[in-house]
Amino acid sequence: MSRVNIDSLTKEYDSAGGSIVAVDGLDLTIDDGEFVVFVGPSGCGKSTTLRCVGGLETVTEGSIRFGDEDVTDQKPKERDIAMVFQNYALYPHMTARENMAFGLKMSTELSSEEIDERVQATAEMLSIEELLEDKPKALSGGQQQRVALGRAIVRDPEVFLMDEPLSNLDAKLRAQMRTELQQLQSELDVTTVYVTHDQTEAMTMGDRIVVLDDGQLQQVGTPLECYHRPANQFVAGFLGSPPMNFLRVEADLEQQELQNAVFTLPLSESVATEIDSSELVLGIRPEHIELTDTPETHGEPSRLVEADVTVTEPMGDVTNVYLDIGGESVTVTTDGKTGASPGDQLYMHVPAAKMHLFDRETGEAIKHSDEPIDAADSPTATESTSPAETA
């Protein structure tokens, strides 16, 4: 176990038209025993970063340290890491047992009895003792996954690296493995770097998540921090399903309101003082919008916006209602009993406290929702790397 320090890591690839920057000056410290999830769209540099940490890619600039040891130029075998690959990368010609024993055989001086013991213990932990004599070909995807995991765990490494390990599994198995992996990680207490493009995995598994886009760090924080206090519009739009709604608005600071061709929303004074640009994007999560068909009786009529229902998506527990506001689409998640149907005209309530505002040009967050982001339910206590203040 050790702390991982990534210091202004840059990775460039040569290509025909010059070089491609895959990772651009990434700084990150991962605490001992922490479970950190790298998340972002394809090509955001998350896998490249992981591979740099694993020593599978050379680093163009910057350094990587495990504890006090600089491992930047070390070969993978010198780093005491274990990795789980997306398609498992089990050795096809070896049995599950041989697959698991291989790393110990290569990197330790253990006797074959000791190796056998450790493989057996790990197999029991993962309940794959029955599969030990089978070759990968004879195993199902989920079983291969477990063997791959076992191959990593048996090494008892300083750092676990996992490159989208669940993405080849079917949905049900993925959900099951998700919780199992979390349990395992907290039991083993090994520093873990986990790469995924799946925001559900990111939200549910990590102690902290690292959101990357285009090779650059967007935000580091606990899942709820990133969800409720997104540093910028990218993070806000990337996390959450259905994603956050974005509406282009202009701020009229004299009138203290947000305007757009279709609606006007009042702006509180405290927020207005934060704003230094009039070109803004209003963000609001689907679950934070309320729908009403009786605007007359609503307690805050000034914050109601008229909208037409275009599509409804009943999911059972909730229903996603898609609305049209002057040509822009807005998604609202309501409870499953909603009576809305396409063609209806409704009013949506945009609560000031739940509203996010972003600078349209830079994408930087100006105002956040006031949702609590830690277990203690206090909205402000957690330290966030987000540059924006909470409103």
Q: Taking each helix axis from N to C terminus, what angle separates 171-188 and 141-153, rounded to the nearest 10 degrees?
A: 10
Q: Does 194 bind another protein (CB under 8 A)?
A: no
Q: Does 14 bind another protein (CB under 8 A)?
A: no
Structure tokens at 75: 């070969």
Beta bridge partners of 348: 291, 305
Q: Distance between CA 223 and CA 371 in Å, rounded? A: 13
Which C-beta is closer to another protein: that of 196 or that of 331? 196
CA-only gyration radius of the chain, Å: 24
Q: Does 116 bind another protein (CB under 8 A)?
A: no
Which C-beta is closer to another protein: that of 161 or that of 291? 161
Nearest approach, Cβ of 85 to another protein (angstroms)? 5
Q: Does 92 bind another protein (CB under 8 A)?
A: yes
Pick one of 3, 65, 135, 298: the residue that binds another protein (CB under 8 A).
135
DSSP-derived letter for residue 317 is: S
Cα–Cα distance list, 326 to 87, 263, 287, 340, 347 (Å): 46, 9, 21, 19, 13
Dihedral sign, Cα of residue 283, residue 286, residue 289, residue 294: positive
Residue carrying the six token digits 């075998």: 77
Which C-beta is closer to another protein: that of 161 or that of 231? 161
Q: Does 146 bind another protein (CB under 8 A)?
A: no
Nearest approach, Cβ of 81 to another protein (angstroms)? 6
Q: Does 167 bind another protein (CB under 8 A)?
A: no
Q: Distance between CA 275 and CA 167 in Å, rounded? A: 41
- Applying CB under 8 A, which part among 52-60, 202-210, 266-274, 339-347 lies near another protein? 52-60
Taking a C-beta distance cutoff of 8 angstroms, is the pair 250, 260 a contact? yes
Q: Does 16 bind another protein (CB under 8 A)?
A: no
Structure tokens at 15: 């290509």
Reduce the DSSP state of residue 222 to 3 states and report it: coil
Pick one of 81, 147, 239, 391: the residue that binds another protein (CB under 8 A).
81
Nearest approach, Cβ of 188 to another protein (angstroms)? 17
Which C-beta is closer to another protein: that of 56 or that of 184? 56
Q: Does 66 bind another protein (CB under 8 A)?
A: no
By CB under 8 A, name the binding residues for another protein: 54-56, 75-77, 81-83, 85, 87, 89-94, 102-103, 106-107, 135, 137, 151, 155, 161
